[in-house]
A and B are shown apart, each in its own frame.
Chain A
């Protein structure tokens, strides 16, 4: 079967979902009102609350939610074959992510543009807000650890990408300064920055001396180096330390100095990546070499692990934070919410779809696929590398040489992961400060104390667990935990929308069913991992750190279910909405 059919099927399903299902939800369930005065108009302050054209807001929403996660998840999940991953991405986007992103946007618009955390406080109570904060704290901690490891892994596998990625930092600072101080446009400087980055990618791909290969510098993978570590472990250690120092600096600087202009360059990269891969797919139209389902994937069952392995790209709680945090404050008309929220999720679905396509077409035979995806651990460790190789192969369809395409795709993935990483360290800093205020620990509200806690705990989480490849490979183990905390967040957001709909006397099944599904899968997956894998009761040794984190998430998940049942079975209907 040719891979282009996956793209065609995906496009049709997404189109049907948007055209019919989202229309039904908008008209019959959320009952959008074109005359409702949105917060953007009611509180228009020219800064946070600004009415924005729906096409512009959709683009902004999509570029905010799209990152490395919708690429990593599917790249791992094709381990069970391409069909389960494809079905979950398509059905998850249409029936879960779409209504989730759309619903949180509408709920926030109907409540003065308040965030999901504040709404949890309002709809359920103060305990729910704290629970929400703790789950976000765990989520960002996972994100920091996983993405620090992902970036280090890519720097080791694709040393040609190191210089172009680091060149982006001074370029972004230059753009930030030029735009902020001189009030210029950002379009031309950022395109120049992109050209410089990709120009350096061509150079580093062709000149081996420009490739920063730490493993080689440390005497090769087998060499024994400092503290008895081998070359790869030491390279991981050095990259993780460098990334954490970078995160510390990036997350304490004003946003306009580095993060914003870098996001701007990365938005170009998102467009470039999607265009070269989908364009290449049309011209190359490669054969799918991966199996439909993989009967040899027996070490981990796809049910329920598939549903937490692909979080972003099928349903992601993080989107609710963007929907309710920024997009709801800029919505011009309430009826635009369908276009912005639902289509934002569809955009991310397309990113997940190309990730599946890249990973299932990169191998020349089924045997080669099965060798690369020999175990779930191998899929976790090698999935992203397979995506880059597959994406590079697709890019050759529009005439880009394979080595340069590989470097460019790895730069795109690293840039996404780096943006996610430093935004998440910043977010963690804010949450620590908020918890400090809540529990009256003033020292936690100080920028450098909160940032130090964020950075040190993230570094410890990625370095301490003993991964399958020794020191520094703890990131291998964390992906399911990341997916779990993300899905829990999505569960809470869907619960809030369900409670809101119930109190308005409307049919809340469209959000309630995905909520039950996602919470059930999360809890089941957590019980399997916490009880049978990390506790030491099963066939494997105890892993204390993961056991503690897993147990905390499991308790939170059960707590949410109980809260949900209590709230949804209440007979009274308060009128504070």
Chain B
């Protein structure tokens, strides 16, 4: 058994064990992103946002993420009138 095969085996072993953990970390990160999205869009939901003028500038960058979010939540069309992503 040469070194490349051993390295491949170790890589496979690491992949097997970390696949579940990667999913969990990705889910945690996605939840944090969702929270950030909610904070940025709080004004559109009727919650006062002191940083509104700054977050407004982020809207063009958020539109794609927002589209992914409402699809993930089972809504085919954007639930917010002010954000027409599709």
Contact = CB atoms under 8 A, between A and B. Distances in A.
B26 A46 contact: yes
B16 interface: yes
Contact of B17 (A53, A255, A264, A330): A264
A186 B18 contact: yes
Nearest to A183: B25
A50 interface: yes
Contact of A263 (B15, B20, B25, B26): B20
- Determine the main DSSP class of B at the interface with A: helix
A442 B24 CA distance: 27
A260 B27 CA distance: 13
A256 interface: yes
A133 to B, nearest CB: 21
Contact of A261 (B13, B14, B15, B21): B21
Contacts, number: 70
Given A254-B28, A256-B28, A56 B23 contact: no
A484 B41 CA distance: 50
Interface stretch (A58-66, A76-84, A245-253): A58-66
B19 to A, nearest CB: 5
Contacts of B24: 255-256, 260
A254 B19 CA distance: 18
B15 A53 contact: yes
Given A254-B28, A256-B28, A47 B23 contact: yes
How large, as a class, is the contact surface on chain B?
Answer: 20 to 34
A59 B28 contact: no
Given A256-B21, A260-B20, A263-B20, A56 B30 contact: no
Contact of B14 (A57, A185, A255): A185
A330 to B, nearest CB: 7
Chain A interface size, under 10 / 10 to 19 / 20 to 34 / 35 or more = 20 to 34
A53 B11 CA distance: 13
A179 interface: yes
A52 interface: yes
A562 interface: no
27 contacts: A45-B68, A47-B26, A47-B27, A50-B23, A52-B19, A55-B12, A56-B16, A59-B12, A59-B13, A59-B15, A63-B17, A179-B21, A180-B28, A185-B14, A185-B18, A187-B10, A187-B14, A187-B17, A256-B21, A256-B28, A260-B20, A261-B21, A263-B20, A264-B21, A267-B16, A326-B20, A330-B19
Given A45-B68, A60-B16, A187-B13, 13 more contacts: A48-B23, A59-B19, A60-B19, A179-B21, A186-B14, A186-B17, A186-B18, A186-B21, A187-B18, A261-B21, A264-B17, A268-B17, A326-B23
